[in-house]
């Protein structure tokens, strides 16, 4: 009996130590933040246009942060509600919470009107809000922290400053425990200089695929949203399509049976311009309207980069449509 009692005490003590360690890591040492840098966005016409191109047609900020017409293919932003934030609703079979994106217009009460340029840069590249909250990562904060140079991220800030302020009261994103705790370890200060976007065609295409979120959306992840080794761009990630059902990201590796190895260059360009597969089937959830106005040079750089992706055999299921949307 004494031995059992002693073992129980040891077990309880170990559990307390583990709990204390977890609490220290996630609530004492996390998030890793630093004061926002004293940066100032250049408000030149060239910088604003560069920011518009990146935000509207490469990074696709406008798609996630705008009220969208979800009944139209490609879900274009509703006129007059661009960058005012978007409520994606609850889809707990896909994500443990309720996703709502922020108002990025210069409104002083509900948008970025009171934020400094450095605070906006920190939010984009490091995932920390003005008040120190950890922003929903969705895999992209570290992507932007590794790809967007100071010039590019400040150009985006300059463009956001020119938007019409929109008052848009909205509740914050709600994330269930324990994901809400794990998210606190996500922010990571950007150290060192981020190089400018490359000009070499292949390297530029690879850079564009990261900034345009191709890598984040199409790389197969497990139930913990961690990339599965050997499944780079192999697709198969489920996501809800409002009012239609559920779809899956495509395998965009060079595999000829399950990927896009049998696509011609024009087939790939049609995906970017029209959001349809080689067969002509509409690609549900594909944010192709973000990329329509990408330059022809940049689109063809993406094609070159896709051709260099090693083949991965991964048969992606067809869309799981609601009964009223089935042919």
CA dist 176 and 232 (Å) reads: 28
Task: Please name the residues in contact with 54: beta carbons below 8 A apart, sequence gap of 6 or more.
Answer: 148, 152, 155, 156, 159, 211
3-state secondary structure of 229: coil
Q: How far is CA 56 from CA 48, 73, 127, 155, 262, in A?
A: 12, 17, 20, 12, 30
In this prediction the pTM is: 0.84
Task: Please name the residues in contact with 90: beta carbons below 8 A apart, sequence gap of 6 or more.
Answer: 97, 98
Buried b (16+ CB within 10 A) or exposed e, 245-261: bbbbbbbbbbbeebbbb
For the record, the structure tokens of 160 come out as 């956001």
Burial class (CB in 10 A: 0-12, 13-18, 19+), 281: exposed
Tens digit of each residue's pLDDT, the chain (327 residues): 566 555 555 444 444 444 444 444 344 444 556 788 999 999 999 999 999 999 999 999 999 899 888 778 788 889 999 999 988 776 555 566 777 889 999 999 999 999 999 999 999 999 888 988 877 755 466 789 899 999 999 999 999 999 999 998 777 777 666 666 656 556 678 878 899 999 999 999 999 999 999 998 999 988 777 889 999 999 999 887 766 678 899 999 999 999 999 999 999 999 999 999 999 988 887 889 999 999 999 999 999 999 999 999 999 998 886 544 444
Angle, helices 201-211/140-147, rounded to nearest 10 degrees? 150
Model pLDDT, residue 29:
40
User: Which neighbouring-strand residues pair with 90?
Assistant: 98
Of 175, 174, 168, the C-alpha closest to 85 is 168
Of 136, 15, 141, the C-alpha closest to 86 is 136
CA dist 33 and 187 (Å) reads: 7
Q: Taking the mean position of all CA atoms in its chain, how far away is CA 111?
A: 19
For the record, the structure tokens of 227 come out as 């990339």
Listed in sequence order, the DSSP H helices in 213-326 are 214-218, 265-274, 296-307
Model pLDDT, residue 17:
45
Q: How many CB atoms lie within 10 A of CB 209?
A: 20
The domain locations on the chain are: 45-185, 201-325
């Amino acid at each position: 009996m004494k031995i059992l009692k002693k073992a129980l005490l040891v077990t309880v003590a170990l559990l307390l130590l583990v709990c204390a360690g977890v609490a220290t890591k996630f609530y004492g040492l996390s998030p890793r933040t630093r004061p926002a840098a004293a940066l100032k966005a250049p408000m030149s016409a060239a910088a604003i246009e560069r920011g518009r191109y990146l935000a509207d047609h490469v990074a696709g900020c406008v798609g996630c942060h705008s009220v969208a017409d979800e009944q139209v293919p490609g879900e274009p932003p509703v006129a007059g509600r661009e960058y005012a934030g978007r409520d994606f609703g609850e889809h707990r079979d896909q994500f443990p919470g309720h996703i709502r994106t922020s108002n990025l217009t210069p409104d002083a009460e509900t948008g970025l009107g009171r934020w400094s340029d450095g605070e906006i840069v920190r939010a984009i590249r490091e995932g920390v809000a003005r008040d120190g909250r950890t922003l929903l990562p969705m895999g992209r904060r570290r992507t932007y922290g590794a790809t967007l140079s100071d010039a590019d991220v400040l150009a985006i800030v300059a463009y956001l400053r020119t938007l019409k302020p929109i008052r848009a009261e909205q509740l914050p994103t709600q994330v269930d425990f324990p994901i809400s705790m794990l998210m606190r370890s996500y922010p990571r200060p950007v150290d060192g200089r981020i190089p400018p976007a490359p000009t070499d065609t292949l390297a530029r295409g690879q850079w564009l695929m990261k900034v345009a979120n191709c890598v984040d959306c199409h790389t197969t992840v497990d139930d913990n949203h961690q990339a599965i080794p050997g499944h780079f761009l192999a697709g198969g990630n489920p996501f809800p399509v409002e009012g239609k059902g559920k779809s899956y990201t495509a395998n965009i590796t060079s595999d000829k049976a399950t990927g896009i190895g049998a696509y011609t260059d024009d087939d790939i360009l049609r995906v970017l311009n029209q959001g349809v597969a080689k067969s002509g089937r509409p690609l549900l959830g594909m944010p192709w309207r973000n990329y329509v106005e990408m330059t022809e040079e940049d689109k063809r750089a993406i094609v070159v980069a896709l051709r260099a992706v090693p083949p991965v055999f991964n048969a992606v299921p067809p869309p799981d449509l609601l009964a009223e949307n089935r042919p």
